[in-house]
Amino acid sequence: METLTIVDDISKVNRKKCLGCELCVVTCSAEAIKLKNKEKETIPPKTTDNLNEMILNKKKELIEKYSRSKS
């Protein structure tokens, strides 16, 4: 998911991809990562069909973005 990247021993969290699972907080040996409330609450889809539709739409968006960057 590339939510957390580490470069030169410095971690950076991609806030758009963060699910709030706290895995990064728990595994950080330096205890340098803390969670903050998101500005906008993400509401999960009501059904698996809605979830699948959301995933497919996001994939389509990413493919189109990738295709444009290659042009």
What tens digit of pLDDT does each residue of 26-62 get? 888 888 888 877 677 778 889 999 999 999 999 999 9
40: its two tokens: 């906008």
Q: Which residues contact 60 (CB under 8 A, 6 or more apart)?
A: none
pLDDT at 70: 79
Cα–Cα separations (whole angstroms), residue 57 to 62, 64, 66: 9, 11, 14
Residue 9 has pLDDT above 60, yes or no: yes
Give residue 1's pLDDT: 53
Does residue 12 have a pLDDT over 90? no
Quote the pLDDT of residue 57. Answer: 94
